[in-house]
Amino acid sequence: MKQRLVSIVASVLSVLTVTTAPFAASAAEKTADYTIKDYTTAESFYSRVVLSKAFQTSEDRAERGEMLQLPQYMLDRMTTDALAEAVLDFPYFNDVYAFDDVQDGFDLMMEHFNGVQELADRDDVASVLLDKYCGEEVLTDEASADGEVFRLTNMEILLTQDFFTAKLSKKEKNKFVKAVASKMEDKAASPVYGEFTNNLLFDLAEENFKDGNFLKNLNEVKDGESFLVTVYTPNGSPVQGRASNVEPLSQTQISEYDGYCQTYYSAATKLRSASARYNCHSYAWYSQSTSNNIWLSEPYAYINDGSYHWTQNNNVGSKVLYRAYNSPKYPNGYPMHSANVYSYSGTTGSLVLQSKWGQFGLYRHTWSNCPYSYYYLAFAVR
C-alpha cells in the first residue's frame, strides 16, 4: 500500500505550492477539510489527510503528525493484523532512519502515534507480527523492491520492541530466532539491503532483547565494514567516532530514502543524497566536506572543552542542538540532532538550518520542517 500512497502523494505534490500555515489556526480549522465520519481503511484515511489543504500548507512535522492520528473508531474495530499493516503504512514511519539511534526515532513515533500505542496493547501482537514476518519475502533485486525497501526492516524494528518480545512464548521465540537468522543471511546476499540496515536488527536486538542464543545467531551473519577512529575538537580534545570506507547503504536504499524525503519534506532542499557514512553531529561539528566518512555518537566534547560555548544568538555559523530530556550523563539535554544555522532574520520562523538527517541526505530546511521538530533548540558558537 505504501508505494501506492507515495506515488499518489508525489504526483499531487508536484503541482502544489507549499506555503507556511498560520500557527494561530484552530485544530478544527486544520482538520475540517479532511474530517469525515467513516473511513474503511487506514489507506483511505492517510491518503485523504496527506492530500488535504491543512497537511499541504503545514511545514511543521509535529503538526502534520497530529493530523495523521488514526480515528478511535478505526482503532476499535481493526483486527491486530490490519492494525499492524496500518502501522507499517504510517506515512512517517520511515522517519526513524533520520535518527542516529533508530530506537530514538521509534520511541518518538510510539510517543506521538496512537496506532503504535494501540498495537503494543494488543494481546496477540507477538503471534500476529511473527506470522507476518515469517511470511515476508526478502527482496532480491532492485526490480523486486518496487518502493518496498523499507517494509522488511520496519517490520524488524517492531519485532525488537519490548511489547513484542515480552509476549513471545518459548515456542514462538525459537521460531523467531530461526526466521531472523534465515532472513539475515538472505539480506546479506541481496544487493537491495546495505550493510547499515542489515545490521540494524542486531543492534536493536542487542539493546532490547536479552537472549544470548538469539544474539549469537545474528552475530554469525552480521557484517562489519566500519572501524573506530579518533578525531579532534578545535581545542585538541579527542573524540571517538566510527568510519566507513564504503557506503553502508545500497543504491536501492539511497534512491528510496531520497524519494521518501522528497515526498514528505518537499519544502526542504536536498543538498546531498542519502548516506550512512557520516551523520548530523559529524557534519555540524567535525567536517562539512563531501569526503567526510565519520559517524559521531554525540557532540558535547566540542562544548565541554571550550571549543564552542552556548549562546542566545542564532547567527549564521552557529551550531544547533535539538535536545531531549536531561539526565546525569546529559545535564544539558540528550543530543537528538545537530545542525548549522544557514540564515536567520530575527524570528524563529525565519530560522533556516543545514543538517544531515541520519541515514538520509543532507538538507537545508526550516527548524520545524524536519523529523526533529518535537525537540527544543539550543545554540552554540565558537
Same domain, 166 and 280: no
48: three-class secondary structure by DSSP: helix
Q: Are residues 56 and 204 in the same domain?
A: yes
- DSSP E strands in the chain: the ranges are 226-232, 238-244, 269-272, 294-296, 309-311, 319-323, 335-343, 352-356, 362-366, 376-381
Mean of pLDDT over the chain: 86
What is the per-residue pLDDT across 279-326, written as a single tens digit (0 to 9) for each?
999 999 999 999 999 999 999 999 999 999 999 888 898 999 999 988
Residue-wise pLDDT for 206-264, tens only, equals 666 655 555 555 454 445 567 999 999 999 999 999 999 899 999 999 999 999 999 99
Looking at 160, 188, 222, the residue that finishes a domain is: 222
Chosen domain end from 222, 245, 266: 222
Separation in Å, CA 83 to CA 63, 74, 89, 124, 337: 23, 9, 10, 12, 30
**Domain encompassing residue 295:** 227-381
Residues 216 and 95 in one domain: yes
Q: For residues 153 and 55, state if they share a domain.
A: yes
213 and 142 share a domain? yes
Domain count, the chain: 2
> Are residue 142 and residue 248 in the same domain, yes or no?
no
Q: Please, what's the b/e burial string for 50-80 (b: 16 or more CB within 10 A of its CB; e: otherwise)?
A: bbbebbbbbbbbebbbebbbbeeebbeebeb
Q: Does 212 share its domain with 244?
A: no
Do 85 and 181 belong to one domain?
yes
On the question of pLDDT at 21 being above 60, the answer is no
Asked whether residue 157 falls in the same domain as residue 212, the answer is yes
pLDDT for 370 beyond 90: yes
| Domain boundary, last residue among 194, 222, 250 | 222
Each residue's pLDDT tens digit, 28-74: 334 444 444 567 799 999 999 999 999 999 999 999 999 999 999 99
